Amino acid sequence: MSSEQPKLDGPDLTLGISLTALADGAMLLGHANGEAVMVVRRGDDVFAIGAVCTHYSGPLAEGLLDGDRVHCPWHHACFSVRTGEALHAPALNPVACWHVDVRGGKAYVTEKVEREPLAPTPNPSKRGAPLPSTIGIIGGGAAGNAAAEMLRREGYNGRITVFDADADSPYDRPNLSKDYLAGNAPEEWIPLRPSGFDEANGIEIVRSQVASLDAKNKSVTLDGGTQHRFDRLLLATGASPIRLTVPGSDSPSLHYLRSLADSRGIVAASASATRAIVIGASFIGLEVAASLRARGLEVHVVAPEALPFEKVLGTELGKFIKALHEEHGVVFHLQRTVASFNAAGVVLNDGENLAGELIVAGIGVRPNVALAEAAGLATDRGVTVSELLETSATGVFAAGDIARWPDAWTGERIRVEHWVAAERQGQAAARNLLGAREPFHAAPFFWSAHYDVTITYVGHASSWDRIEIQGSIGKRDCALAYQTKGKTMAVASIFRDSVSLAAEVAMERGDANAVSALFAGK
């Protein structure tokens, strides 16, 4: 993540702000002692917190204030305006808080109070049962890491062990197809935590693959045969790219992208390549296409569908994204598949030869459910979990790409592959591992970046009978409501963060009228 200092806007808040200029519910951006700070008025209370989101430096004062929480406009992290605590991922670190003196009809921002990243929350969740002594987490990616951190933030003092064979985890996986791959983000930004962070917080990381799981006894056996037993367990094994099986699929030119090592491999291969072939017009496929264009490679995309994203985002948004990539020089070979690989590149199913020294396949992922299946846990195209994220085995929870949970908004059991959802599930599962029994009601959220356009999506619509379009897709200022029988199941947006945020908050409250109202005037 960038450590660039933001430029300071607004008034110097140490000189005082007139309370008459600060309406109830207002957020005012200013600065104090060289830092961007925003003041927030809630009734008679005035709060001051850091104005820059700790995820990717989003402008919090342009976000949504909901009670005493502010939601970041960019990727929907949520902070307490009272304490600065990062209440919901993707932000893992709090923002600083400043004391505010109210006197003579003015509010003065005074001393700064910083929270440690894993400082215990002032409002730990309520627990009904004795705490477990040991918790094992299988997988140290988005969900596993967020869970381990939340256990400490909840004040848990027991033993936490995370198993993950990936030597680099945990890291910012979404960046691997975006700025890092494009050459705009150095590798120092990719780790989620500095080295030594786990030791300092008593989180033991075991760099080993878990080979099997005994769900009844809550024990795991590692690849080398070592066994570890726990009081409670979290499964967060994520997903793996689907591999091609056509002739020549062992070509050294063919890459997949899931891990930091994979992304490093593509970066290295791009240095000597002039032409790239991307197989699959998925989010990852097209983000890779954009990043390789940024590196100056000629990029060809091969995909079986007639229009990218049509099934996920609809025809209009699909056309926009295709045109956006074409404007940037990407050449599409749609309604085509790869039949085989040869020394020069690939042969398509219509016999055409396509040359390319670098080939990246992004044809989807499969949830890593083998451990769960072999352990006899209930599975259904993912690991089946309750609204508490507990699997069919008591005391064994699952979160992230593998979890299929009962989603309150859609009324369906869903499984998604979204960074923020995985982290939030990890955080919710952590509280439930400690006995909080809190249902997981977060609306799934994802974003995808293509050149200078970011698409955000909240909710889940596996199908729809109508798409309501607000604003203009062509002008890159729009929100789309995906509706089934009059109910908006999901909202996609481009640079209409306020609609996306309001939809998320309303969905989490179960307020269908509020979601509809967002599209009422269009």
Choice between 59 and 356, CB closer to ligand FES: 59
- Residue nearest ligand FAD, CB atom distance: 141
Q: How far is the CB of 140 from ligand FES (least distance, A)?
A: 21
Choice between 239 and 277, CB closer to ligand FAD: 239
Among 39, 40, 77, 176, binds ligand FES (CB under 6 A): 77
The DSSP H or E segment spanning 334 is strand 331-334
Among 30, 50, 58, 170, binds ligand FES (CB under 6 A): 58
Let me know the angle formed at the C-alpha of 113 by 107 and 114, rounded to the nearest 5 degrees. Answer: 140
Choice between 13 and 375, CB closer to ligand FAD: 375
Task: Choose the one of ligand FAD, ligand FES, none that binds residue 136, judging by a C-beta under 5 to 8 angstroms depending on kind.
Answer: none
Residue 219: C-alpha distances to residues 135, 160, 166, 214, 215 (Å): 11, 14, 21, 5, 7
> And the tokens for 202?
């008593």
Residue 385: C-alpha distances to residues 89, 236, 395, 428 (Å): 21, 12, 12, 13
Choice between 218 and 450, CB closer to ligand FES: 450
Task: Choose the one of ligand FES, ligand FAD, none that binds residue 138, judging by a C-beta under 5 to 8 angstroms depending on kind.
Answer: ligand FAD
Q: Is the alpha carbon torsion for 193, 195, 201, 205 positive or negative?
A: positive
Residue 498 phi/psi, 5-degree rounding, is -65, -35
Q: Which of 452, 474, 457 is nearest to 293 (CA)?
A: 452
Task: Choose the one of ligand FES, ligand FAD, none that binds residue 142, judging by a C-beta under 5 to 8 angstroms depending on kind.
Answer: ligand FAD
Q: How far is the CB of 117 from ligand FAD (least distance, A)?
A: 19
Residue 3 burial class via C-beta count within 10 angstroms: exposed 0-12, middle 13-18, buried 19 and up: exposed
Choice between 48 and 429, CB closer to ligand FAD: 429
Is residue 371 helix, strand or coil? helix
Q: Which stretch binds ligand FES (CB under 6 A): 69-77, 387-395, 451-459, 499-507?
A: 69-77
x/- string (CB under 6 A) for ligand FAD, residues 401-440?
Answer: x---------------xxxx-x------------------
Contacts (Cβ under 8 Å, ≥6 apart) of 214: 220, 221, 375
Is residue 224 helix, strand or coil? coil
Choice between 256 and 332, CB closer to ligand FAD: 256
Residue 289 phi/psi, 5-degree rounding, is -60, -45
Whether the bond into 124 is cis, omega within 30 of 0: no
**450 forms part of the interface with ligand FAD (CB under 6 A):** no
Among 27, 28, 31, 75, binds ligand FES (CB under 6 A): 75
Task: Choose the one of ligand FES, ligand FAD, none that binds residue 422, judging by a C-beta under 5 to 8 angstroms depending on kind.
Answer: ligand FAD
Task: Choose the one of ligand FES, ligand FAD, none that binds residue 258, judging by a C-beta under 5 to 8 angstroms depending on kind.
Answer: ligand FAD
Choice between 100 and 416, CB closer to ligand FAD: 416
Whether the bond into 132 is cis, omega within 30 of 0: no
Is residue 267 helix, strand or coil? helix
> And the tokens for 382?
């993912």
**53 forms part of the interface with ligand FES (CB under 6 A):** yes
Q: How far is the CB of 60 from ligand FES (least distance, A)?
A: 7
Q: How far is the CB of 358 from ligand FES (least distance, A)?
A: 30
Name the β-bridge partners of 214. 219
Choice between 90 and 382, CB closer to ligand FES: 90
**72 forms part of the interface with ligand FES (CB under 6 A):** yes
**198 forms part of the interface with ligand FAD (CB under 6 A):** no
**444 forms part of the interface with ligand FES (CB under 6 A):** no
Positions 262 through 301 that interact with ligand FAD (CB under 6 A)? 284
The DSSP H or E segment spanning 504 is helix 497-509
Task: Choose the one of ligand FES, ligand FAD, none that binds residue 400, judging by a C-beta under 5 to 8 angstroms depending on kind.
Answer: ligand FAD
**56 forms part of the interface with ligand FES (CB under 6 A):** yes
Choice between 278 and 442, CB closer to ligand FES: 442
**90 forms part of the interface with ligand FES (CB under 6 A):** yes
Residue 71 near residue 501, CB atoms below 8 Å: yes
Q: Which of 84, 49, 52, 78 is nearest to 65 (CA)?
A: 78
Q: How far is the CB of 84 from ligand FAD (least distance, A)?
A: 25
Positions 135 through 194 that interact with ligand FAD (CB under 6 A)? 138-144, 163-166, 169, 173-174, 176-177
Residue 351 near residue 338, CB atoms below 8 Å: no
Burial of 61-88, coded b for 16+ CB within 10 Å and e otherwise, reads: bbbbbbeebbbbbbbbbbbbbbbbbbbb
Please report, as ranges, the residues that interact with ligand FAD according to CB under 6 A.
138-144, 163-166, 169, 173-174, 176-177, 209-210, 236-238, 257-258, 284, 368, 371, 400-401, 417-420, 422, 446-448
